[in-house]
Structure 1
Amino acid sequence: MRGILAVVFALALAWAGPSRAEVKDATPNGFTIENSRVVPVDAKTAWNALVNDVGQWWPKDHTWWGDATRLSIQPRAGGCFCEIDGDRQAWHMTVTFVDPGTLLRMTGGLGPLQGMGLSGALEWRFEKVGEGTKITLWYRAGGYTPDDLRKFVPVVDQVQAQQLGGLADYLETRAKADGGAGR
């Protein structure tokens, strides 16, 4: 039976492939994006990699100073998703909700959205799927800007898929190295 489950899970992972992206809505003043990916580890392992190893999986070209190891997430209400490089510092988002292994919510504007005066709610959701975990990265952002935000949605969606992909690839590599011990 375990062999059949492993084959079914492997097929599900192959089918899931890269992140599943969906633009939920887009208007001139805001948008909602959702990307999902299934990983071959339990939710606790996925959660721990999210909050403790962010510098290992976050794309370095999506940091202010090109070094993802300068990133940290404090998984507590009021905690900081920060990038600290000596005197150069960025508070990317504020942690507003923590339910370990289930949901991490942060608020703020990522990247250039912050400088545009926009804000949003970003959620990392974890759901058991077979012997693995479905990770969903959901982001709703908006606010006043003279620009039509719909034109930014494809780029933000691509970046979010890359960020989720970084975490998923990291977890898949670790699971292979551990022989599936992350379940």
Structure 2
Amino acid sequence: MGKLWYILTAGLGGLAVVASVPARAEVTARTDSGFVIRVTGEVAASPAEAWKAFTTPSLWWNPQHTFSGEAANLSLDASANGCFCEKLPVPKGAPATQKPGSVMHMRVIYAEPYRALRLVGGLGPLQSEAVNGTMTVTFKPVEGSGGKSTRILWEYVVGGFMRYKTDTISGAVDKVLGEQISGLTKLIGPASPVDKKLLSTEPLAPEASVAGTRPGANDSATDVALPPPQEDAPTYTPDPTKDDAAAGESVKSALDQLFKKKDDRLPPGR
């Protein structure tokens, strides 16, 4: 990982998002002390299936962006305080008593299955810097797909002191995350053009219709039913409009509603 990240941060390029896959990543904000990257993709799967695939990074994360060189060494425990971790095998020729190493890429701080996942941590070269990185991932059924297509949206917000120029490092991280959403989308299967055409003619499917699996899918791997909606409980699910430019703000608004700040004003005369 170190070598490839160095190439990217040096501005010498990197693997771009595959054009045929309906997924993309972009830097939506940047200052001298931080940046925001938004990654989106539409897949031909229910939110439950998309969640299961996302939380199995060993199947879709590019091994070139790992420390061990093997995606099979990655794991993600999608529960609070769970770890997005990587095992480091014992090097050849190492003493027999040497134990395997490990890396914590990110830590889970919020998990609402099939709806949203939030992790914190510095990816790649950011791990060595004094920065905070927060990644929020949401899974939303695509309107008109009957729960068979899902829009995956994740935002990575980074801020703090770093020894990189933000215009350079943000571009590198943007390329790497763009490659990851492409790998995830290809694993699950991109939403087909036919599905997108139906969006303009089919009515919005009710929440209860989201459960189920794709026809022909492996039942043992994907036959997962979504939990019934909780009418009285607040939800993490954003409501992005069709305008992608507003998607990131929609996620933020949804989270702010869940974690409302108290207005503790001082009494008059204080």
TM bucket, shorter chain: 0.7 to 0.9
Matched, 1:79 2:92: no
Cα drift, residue 16 of structure 1 = 8.6
Aligned mates of 1:96, 1:135 — CA distance in 2: 19
Aligned mates of 2:216, 2:176 — CA distance in 1: 28
Aligned mates of 1:162, 1:22 — CA distance in 2: 12
Residues 102-181 of structure 1 mapped to structure 2, 5 A cutoff: 102-129=115-142, 130=145, 131-172=148-189, 181=217
* Partner in structure 1 of residue 29 of structure 2: 25
Structure 1 residue identity aligned to 2:101: R
Indicate the percent of aligned positions where both proteins have the same amino acid.
Answer: 34
CA pair 158-89 structure 1, distance change in 2 beyond 3 A = same
What is the total number of aligned residue pairs between the two structures? 165
Aligned mates of 1:122, 1:48 — CA distance in 2: 17
RMSD: 2.2
Aligned mates of 2:141, 2:45 — CA distance in 1: 9
Cα drift, residue 145 of structure 1 = 2.1
Cα drift, residue 88 of structure 1 = 2.1
Aligned mates of 1:115, 1:67 — CA distance in 2: 21
Aligned mates of 2:81, 2:58 — CA distance in 1: 20
- Structure richer in strand, relative to its length: 1
Structure 2 residue identity aligned to 1:58: W
Residues 48-67 of structure 1 mapped to structure 2, 5 A cutoff: 48-51=52-55, 53-67=56-70
Note the alpha carbon deviations across 1:75-116, whole angstroms, 9 max, x for none. Answer: 111111000124221010110000111111100100111112
CA pair 44-16 structure 1, distance change in 2 beyond 3 A = farther
TM-score by length of 2: 0.57
Aligned mates of 2:33, 2:216 — CA distance in 1: 44
* Partner in structure 1 of residue 112 of structure 2: 99
TM-score by length of 1: 0.82
* Partner in structure 1 of residue 101 of structure 2: 88
Aligned mates of 1:161, 1:56 — CA distance in 2: 16
Aligned mates of 2:28, 2:170 — CA distance in 1: 10
Q: Secondary structure at 1:109's aligned position in 2?
A: coil
- Structure richer in helix, relative to its length: 1
